[in-house]
Homo-oligomer: A and B are copies of this chain.
Amino acid sequence: MQRIGFIGLGIMGRPMCHHLLKAGYPVTVYNRTKEKAEALAKEGAKTADSPATASADSEVIITIITDTPDVLEVILGDNGVIHGAKPGSVVIDMSTISPSATRSMAGRLSEKGIDMLDAPVSGGDTGARAGTLAIMVGGKKEVFQRCLPIFEVLGQSITHVGDHGMGQTVKLCNQILVSVTNLAVCEAILFAKKSGVDPGIMIEATQNGAAASWQLSNLGPKMIVRDFDPGFMINLQQKDLRLALESAREARLPVPGLGLVHQLYASNQAAGEGREGTQALIKSLERLAGFALD
C-alpha cells in the first residue's frame, strides 16, 4: 500500500483520513492546528511538523484545504510539499480551487518529477464521513489509475474527466448546476406559496417529471419547514461560485444565471446567513419580495 501524506484535517479531511487509516494505509498527517493532527495520531497516523516533512517519506500526498492561496502556500510555499516530496510521488489536491492555478502548480511540480492530480469532491461532510463522495479527477490517466484504490476508499462515483485542472472545472460545473437549480426551486416554492398553493403538494406534483432535480426533492422540503442547517454552507458555496465566475471571466464566457445566484447569496451573507445551508437562498428571495414563507 502506498505511503500517504495527508494535509488538511478540517470537516472534510478528517473523516477522509480516518477512512484511509482504517483501510490500512500508512498515513503521515499535517495540520496547521496541531490538536487535529493529534486526534488522528490516536488512530495510528504519524504526525509531521510541516507539509514538506509530511511529504518526505510519502508516495502519495493528499491536500484538502479551503481556497486557492492556502493550497498554493501548502504546496509551493516555504516548507511546502514541493520541498519534501520525492520524484515519482503524486500530489492529489482534493480541495476546490482555481483550475488555472491547478495547472500552473502541476507544471511546477512536474519540473521536479512530481505528478499531480486535481481531485475535488462533491457530497459534503456527510459524504466524507460515509465514504460516498463523488470525485472528479484531472491529470494523467495512468497516474489516476495508480491512485484509484485510494479514491475508492474515499468515494463512490469516481470519474477521470481529463487533463490537469479539469477535475476542478467539472467541480465548478457541478456548483453552477446546483446553484442555479437551487434558484429554480426557491422561485417555484415562493410562487406556489404566494398563489395560495401548498408548496409541499407542488413538490409532490412536479418532482417526478421534467422538473425533477435533487435540489427540488432534497432542499425544497427543508425550505418549507425552515430547516436552514448546513448540508453545504453558503460561505463555502460563495467561494466556489467566485472561482467559477473567475474561470468564466478567464474563458470570456458570460454566465448570467450564475452571476445572479452569486449576488443573491451575497444578500444572505450580508444578513449574517453565510453559515447556513444553501437552501437559505430562499430567504434572499423573500427579502426581495418583502415577505417570508412562515
Contacts and interface: CB of A to CB of B under 8 A. Distances in A.
Interface in A156-200: 157, 159, 161-163, 165-166, 169-170, 172-174, 176-181, 183-185, 187-192, 194-198
Given A213-B213, A214-B213, A170 B157 contact: no
Interface string A267-294: 0000000000000000001001100000
A184 B195 contact: no
Contact of A255 (B181, B187, B258): B187
Interface stretch (A139-147, A221-229, A243-251): A243-251
A176 to B, nearest CB: 5
Contacts of A209: 122-123, 134, 157, 174, 214
A126 to B, nearest CB: 11
A184 B180 contact: yes
Nearest to A201: B161
A216 interface: yes
Interface residues on A, range: 35 or more
Interface in A34-80: none
B194 A188 contact: no
Nearest to A124: B210
Contact of A256 (B174, B188, B208, B260): B260
19 contacts: A122-B211, A123-B209, A157-B205, A161-B197, A162-B201, A165-B195, A169-B197, A170-B201, A170-B206, A172-B191, A174-B188, A180-B187, A181-B181, A191-B247, A191-B255, A194-B248, A195-B251, A254-B289, A257-B257
Given A161-B198, A178-B210, A187-B255, 9 more contacts: A99-B195, A136-B206, A162-B196, A173-B188, A173-B211, A176-B184, A180-B257, A190-B255, A256-B285
